[in-house]
Amino acid sequence: MEIKNIIKDTFGRKHDYLRISITDKCNFRCFYCMPDEKINFYPTDKLMSADELLNIAKTFVSLGVKKIRLTGGEPLIRKDAREIISRLSNLQVELAITSNGYLIDEYLELFQEVGLKSINISLDTLDRAKFKRITQRDYLEKVLSNIKLFNDKGFRIKVNVVALKGVNLHEIKDLVEWTRNENVHVRFIEFMPFNGNSWDFSKIVSYKEVLNIVEENFDFERIQDAKNDTAKNYRLKGGKGTFAVISSITDSFCSTCNRIRLTADGKIKNCLFSNSELDLLSSYRKGDDIEELIFKNIESKFAERGGFSDFKELKEEKDFGKGRCMFAIGG
C-alpha cells in the first residue's frame, strides 16, 4: 500500500503502531479493569463493524502504520473476531493481540495461518485462589496450559502483570523465577488510574520497588530494549525468558511513544492518560475525511502523560481517569 503522509505529533514522534479495541466486553471481571457497579456495555450499533474497522485500519496503514494490535475487553469473545483477524492480516502489517489467554487455543490454527506471532497475556498471579479473587473466574490452569501450548509452538508470549500492593507484591519473586526455565517474558506494569478502578498511589508497586526485590533474590542483567519499547527489560543470568517493568507512573517513556489507540466505538485516544478523545467512527459514517481528523488528534498530543507532566500533579489529580474504564479503552 502506498504511504501518503506519515503521522507525526508536534514533538516529532512518528506514530506507526495502532492498537484497536474490537470489543468492550470480557469474560473475566478483573477488579482493576472493571468497576464494581453495574456495567453498561456499548450496543452493537455503536461499535465499529468489521467493514468499518477494516476500512479505518486501511486509512491508518496508508499513513504509515506498520503494526496493529487487537485488544478489548477480551478481543476473542467478539463473534466476528476470526473475520477481523483474517482481513487485517491482508494489510501487510505486523499483527499482534492482547488477551486474557482463556480462548487462544481455539485460535491457534488461525494465528499460524495469518502469521500472528506475538501475544500479550494478562495474568497477575500464579496462585489459583488469588487468580479467582482477581478475575472472579477459576481459569488459571487453562490460561497456564495455553501459555505453554503457544510457547511450544514458537509464539512470542509476553505476560502482563499489574503489580499491586496487598494483592501480588510477594509474587514478584515467583514470577521472575518463572522466566528462568521458561521462554516467557513477564512485564510488571505500574497500576494506572482509570475511571472506577479505585486508583491510589499507595497501591502502586514502582519500578524501583520491583528492582529492589529482584536485586535481593537474583543475579540478573539489563538487556537491550526494542525501539519504542515501553518496558525496561532484564534477564536472569542464564535464563530462557525475560522480565521487565512498564513504569507508566514513576518513570515515563513518553519521549519515544509511537502508539495510537482506537476504541471499540471508534474514538481515538492519543494517550492512555488523556481524558480527551476524538470520534472517528461518526465522521467516517458521515463520509468525512478522517485523515484530517487523525492528524488533528495526534497533533494535539501532549509531550508527556496526557498533559500531566508533573508526577506530584498526577498523584493529586482527584478526577483523573474520569473518561473511561480500562475495559472501554483497550490496553
Domain span at residue 201?
17-328
> What proportion of the chain, given as a percentage, has pLDDT over 70?
87
pLDDT at 316: 44
pLDDT at 260: 95
Spatial separation of the C-alpha atoms in residues 283 and 176, rounded to whole Å:
46
CATH number of the domain to which 45 belongs: 3.20.20.70
Residue 124 CB neighbour total at 10 angstroms: 23
pLDDT at 3: 67
Element (H, E) at 189: strand 185-190
Flag whether 267 is in a domain.
Answer: yes
Nearest CA among 59, 107, 60, 117 for reference residue 84: 107
C-alpha cell at 82: 476470526
- What are the tens digits of pLDDT across the range 103-136? 999 999 999 999 999 999 999 999 999 999 999 9
pLDDT band at 164 (very low <50, low <70, confident <90, very high): confident
Report if pTM > 0.85: yes
Residue 49 CB neighbour total at 10 angstroms: 14
Scanning the chain, the segments in alpha helix (DSSP H) are: 50-62, 81-88, 108-114, 128-135, 140-152, 172-181, 207-217, 280-286, 290-299, 311-316
If one compares 5 and 193, the residue with the highest pLDDT of the two is 5
Flag whether 159 is in a domain.
Answer: yes
Residue 283 pLDDT > 80, yes or no?
yes
Flag whether 166 is in a domain.
Answer: yes
Flag whether 9 is in a domain.
Answer: no
If one compares 226 and 98, the residue with the highest pLDDT of the two is 98
Flag whether 25 is in a domain.
Answer: yes
Flag whether 5 is in a domain.
Answer: no
Flag whether 3 is in a domain.
Answer: no
Nearest CA among 329, 189, 322 for reference residue 253: 189
Mean pLDDT of the chain: 88
- What are the tens digits of pLDDT across the range 180-196? 999 999 999 987 765 55
Number of domains in the chain: 1
Flag whether 10 is in a domain.
Answer: no
Residue 57 pLDDT > 60, yes or no?
yes
Where b means 16+ CB within 10 Å and e means fewer, 142-181 reads: ebbebbeebbeeebebbbbbbbbeebbeebbeebbbbbee
